[in-house]
A = this chain, B = another copy of it.
Amino acid sequence: MTHYSELETPCVLIDLDKAEANLAHAQELANAAGIALRPHIKTHKLPYFAKRQVELGAVGITVQKLGEAEVMADAGLTDLLLTYNIIGSAKRARLKALHDRVTIRVVADSAECVDGLAETFTDAAHKLGVFVECDTGMGRCGVQSAADALALARRISAAPGLAFAGLMTYPAAGKHRESAQWMAEAKALFDAQGVELPAITTGGTPDMAHMNEAGVATEYRPGTYIYMDRSQVAAGAATFDDCALTVLATVVSRPTDGRAIIDAGSKTLTSDLLGLQGHGYVVEYPDSKIVGLSEEHGTVDVSACATKPKIGDVIRIIPNHCCPVTNLFDRVNFIRNGDLVETVPVAARGRVD
């Protein structure tokens, strides 16, 4: 048996028991809310966990890029929602190849996007399902009003090879209630106009405890919940003990009494702050602060620590944002009770297009 502390650093540790507990908890919440769970694989990027999510009751998975969809389809996942506008003939050809072998649906928020899809997908006997993405407060993609959503839904339905699949949104943390209200009003409009609304899909880990607040959502797409991270703890969605992903790092320098330098920098923790102070939570030294990152160095203020780390010590860091961390590593280490179970390739890492 190899204990995690013997691994070369920096590296990523995944506590399997914690990840399993997080997966089970979300599925229970979805079951209790009477809502389908469609986890976003952007966080783990691993076929192993995608399959596990489906085994536990998820109706399918969510992916953000065609490259991720291709990896997951190759791995045997058969029901994918690609929550991204697919623009351009090269990407539509890749989408068509996927549509020919798995169930895949996409989103659109403009006539341009829908018309492009309509050009590529023409088979009325094998339609492509298209959701209308709605901007319910995030300020990113999405139509701006329920009336616009209705108009775009009609445009989708008018295309012989496309099928209107429903409404999709991604509410930013704290925007969940506003988003639910937006969707309730949209549903009322569709109902009043006699336009069938097959599904309303929403998501976001921080609001998971209120999955179906407005009673209209049919599907939820959380991502980060599998690993959790410092931003989720700050949002009250998890405790540090729930966090399944840690970055293992070594103290490589102690230049002053109050300063420790570790071999985890922005190339392992990313520069994501998500509104937080500092760059992560050090499990073994909760009174320390990761005050700065270079690419390969982390600067840790240990002046408040009663016992201070020594050169050569290994520490575990709960990052601010776990999702982009897994994207920086070719492999992650599955751990159970502190021992290495398996090192697995991050199959969908770097699939940016």
A interface with B by C-beta (< 8 Å): 8-11, 42, 64-65, 84-85, 87-88, 90-91, 109-110, 112-113, 116, 135, 139-144, 250-256, 259, 261, 263, 266-268, 270-273, 292, 294-297, 299, 310-312, 323-324, 327-330, 350, 352-353
| Contact, CB under 8 Å: A84 / B140 | no
Beyond the given pairs A112-B310, A141-B255, A329-B350, 7 more chain A to chain B contacts, judged by CB atoms under 8 angstroms and listed by A's residue number, are A11-B353, A84-B263, A84-B296, A113-B253, A140-B261, A266-B272, A271-B271
Contacts of A87 in B (CB 8 A): 250-252, 263, 311-312
Contacts of A312 in B (CB 8 A): 87-88, 112, 116
| Contact, CB under 8 Å: A42 / B252 | no
How would you classify the secondary structure of chain A's contact residues: helix, strand, loop or mixed? loop
Nearest neighbor of A43 in chain B, beta-carbon distance: B295
Contacts of A116 in B (CB 8 A): 312
Please measure, in the bound complex, the distance between the C-alpha atom of A255 and the C-alpha atom of B113, giving whole angstroms.
Answer: 12
Contacting A252 at CB < 8 Å: which of B11, B141, B330? B141
A139 and B350 in contact, given A85-B252, A256-B144, A266-B324 (Cβ under 8 angstroms): no
Contacts of A254 in B (CB 8 A): 110
Contacts of A327 in B (CB 8 A): 267, 295, 328
Contacts of A8 in B (CB 8 A): 88, 90-91, 353
Tally of this chain's copies: 2
Please measure, in the bound complex, the distance between the C-alpha atom of A145 and the C-alpha atom of B310, giving whole angstroms.
Answer: 20
| Contact, CB under 8 Å: B255 / A109 | yes
Contacts of A11 in B (CB 8 A): 352-353
Contacts of A9 in B (CB 8 A): 353
Please measure, in the bound complex, the distance between the C-alpha atom of A330 and the C-alpha atom of B263, giving whole angstroms.
Answer: 23
How many whole Å from A264's CB to the nearest CB in chain B?
Answer: 8
| Contact, CB under 8 Å: B268 / A270 | no
Interface centre among A271, A272, A295 (most CB of B within 10 A): A295
Please measure, in the bound complex, the distance between the C-alpha atom of A139 and the C-alpha atom of B299, giving whole angstroms.
Answer: 8
Please measure, in the bound complex, the distance between the C-alpha atom of A251 and the C-alpha atom of B109, giving whole angstroms.
Answer: 13
Please measure, in the bound complex, the distance between the C-alpha atom of A310 and the C-alpha atom of B273, giving whole angstroms.
Answer: 31
Please measure, in the bound complex, the distance between the C-alpha atom of A348 and the C-alpha atom of B173, giving whole angstroms.
Answer: 36
A–B complex contacts, Cβ < 8 Å, 19 sampled = A64-B296, A84-B252, A84-B263, A84-B296, A85-B253, A112-B310, A139-B292, A141-B252, A141-B261, A144-B256, A263-B353, A266-B324, A267-B352, A268-B352, A271-B273, A295-B324, A327-B328, A328-B350, A329-B352
